[in-house]
Chain A
Amino acid sequence: MTDAGTKLWSLSASEASRRLEAGTLTSRALTEAVLARMAEVDGKIHSYIHVATERAIKAATKADAELKSGRRRSALHGVPFGVKDNYDVAGLAATEGSRLRLGHIPERDAPVVHDLEEAGAVLLGKLATWEYGTGNGGEYFDLPFPTARNPWDTTRFTGGSSTGAGASVAAGTASFAMGSDTTGSVRLPAAGCGLVGVILPQGGISGDGILPNCYSLDVPGPLTWTVEDAARVLDVLARPDDSYVRALSRQVSGMRIGILRGPLGRFPAPDASMSSAFEEACAVIGRLGAHLEDVRLPMPVSECFDVTRLIGPAESAAIHEAELRERPGDMGFALRDKLLAGSLVRAVDYIHAQRQRRLIADAIDTMLRPYDAIVTYGPLHVAPRLGVEPEMSAFTVETCLTPFNLSAHPAMVQCTGYSTEGLPLAWQIVANRGDVVSALALAAAYEQATPWRQRRPRLES
């Protein structure tokens, strides 16, 4: 890894925006720098499925002209971004990472894409994804596009299913990216690639125009380099009454924070590096003045995972039933495996899983309510070697992410340092519904107090 220096591709979205506003940087220069970074390194990490170069240059030129005439649409004006290939963009191929969708070109933009472009952000292209934004935890190298690789170590997995979103922001082939999360698909690649990844409860950001994976759990979310970057994206997409960016300066001193280490159930203890980084991160926010109290999840984390293992495949099988009936041989192993499993879930068990979800959600809500936020593990392991079992499945399955998909609370992951091999470590911050700003403020204060944003992966030849 290397010191990020001052290369334009390495600017956070927020720093780029400040320079654009001050007139010391143009969107065209920034966009061209990021495109040049892509040309230099994307052959190693495969973060993109489709790059829309001409469209991006045109949008950047327009953004510059507007800035020159005094029009700044938002705090993302002129900042380049990518979207996971399950987002619809009018006129651009949306393959969803699948040979089932080769040649599919949507006629309309997903509202997220529309809103970001209306805010002046510059779309660079479509990012790699596990097929249909889902999978079974493994990697089988059987899709029509190269597998995205982790910029911190290209022999390793990014985290899925928003694989290209994680790779691109870490590598500087996008200033920020949009992914989607059903049981961790924003937060897992964010953790694996050393980023910030945030999800809000359903309805916080529109999921329209994104290929569904699980109606009752899917949420879109940003992957960014810094917490402020995430707040800027959420300001555009969630349209809070009070700007999340302005609220980042909220004092951590006096915040009541729950520390949640389990019970993990049948999942193993976290890697030693992950665990020690978590404890040190807790100490950091303690030194910032947060009141720390131990809390316990009302049920084992692995039980929450099991609930998602009935809900997710069953809904996916319903959503993609036609493809499983007509073209099962054209699917990759992971998607087909999930749809076959979902076809076997009894309706009775699905309903019990949704009943159990409600009990879990209510119990977690009760646990959380006395606190401004809780901090807990994200994944329990560092990014695994790509395609190597059982490392892959352990990384994707053994996480503390799914309880908060089930409970529909705002949740985010953040880098808490690096392992001795230089792989990103992460924790998760969860807030009460309607109060994501507490999580963002806590994460921003932690980020300011630690040096983790000063490193970038080394990918240059």
Chain B
Amino acid sequence: MSQKKPSLVEIEAFAHRYGLTKLAPEHIARMAELAVYVGDLGCMLPRPALKEHAPAATFMPGKQC
């Protein structure tokens, strides 16, 4: 599955919404390309079967060398 590439206007609006106001036009263009890649990665990521499968943020092995 490949997502539709966002328009430059859409991606610039997204960037501005999150404080990325100093990106050059070529950065915006690259961000639009990356949006497809990142979106695909997120969609393809397998989802754990159970809601009880907690994230690895709680998985800190500590000093085990």
A-to-B contact residues, CB < 8 Å: 200-204, 216, 234, 238, 240, 303, 306-307, 309-310, 313, 321, 324-329, 336-337, 340-341, 343-346, 348-349, 351-359, 361, 406, 408, 410, 433-434, 436
Give A326 to B63 CA distance when docked, in angstroms.
37
Chain B nearest CB: distance from A376 CB in Å?
A: 20
Scan B40-58; emit 1 where CB is below 8 A from any A CB, else 0: 0110111110000111111
Interface of A is mostly: helix
Give A313 to B23 CA distance when docked, in angstroms.
18
A203's contact among B23, B41, B62, by CB below 8 Å, is which?
A: B62
Residues from chain A with Cβ under 8 Å of B62 in the complex: 201-203
- Residues A359 and B65 in contact, CB atoms below 8 Å apart: no
B48's contact among A204, A348, A356, A408, by CB below 8 Å, is which?
A: A356
- Residues B63 and A359 in contact, CB atoms below 8 Å apart: no
A-B contact count (CB 8 A): 118
Chain A nearest CB: distance from B53 CB in Å?
A: 5
- Residues B46 and A200 in contact, CB atoms below 8 Å apart: no
Give A327 to B38 CA distance when docked, in angstroms.
23
Residues from chain A with Cβ under 8 Å of B48 in the complex: 352, 355-356, 359
- Residues B41 and A306 in contact, CB atoms below 8 Å apart: yes
- Residues A307 and B45 in contact, CB atoms below 8 Å apart: yes
Interface size, chain B (Cβ < 8 Å): 36
Give A308 to B17 CA distance when docked, in angstroms.
26
Give A325 to B65 CA distance when docked, in angstroms.
38
Q: A303-B46, A356-B48, A433-B61 are in contact. Are A351 and B22 (CB under 8 A)?
A: no
Give A336 to B23 CA distance when docked, in angstroms.
10
Most buried by B among A200, A341, A433: A341
Residues from chain A with Cβ under 8 Å of B37 in the complex: 341
Give A349 to B62 CA distance when docked, in angstroms.
25
Residues from chain B with Cβ under 8 Å of A361 in the complex: 56, 59
- Residues A358 and B53 in contact, CB atoms below 8 Å apart: yes
B27 located at the interface, meaning its Cβ lies under 8 Å from any Cβ of chain A in the complex: yes
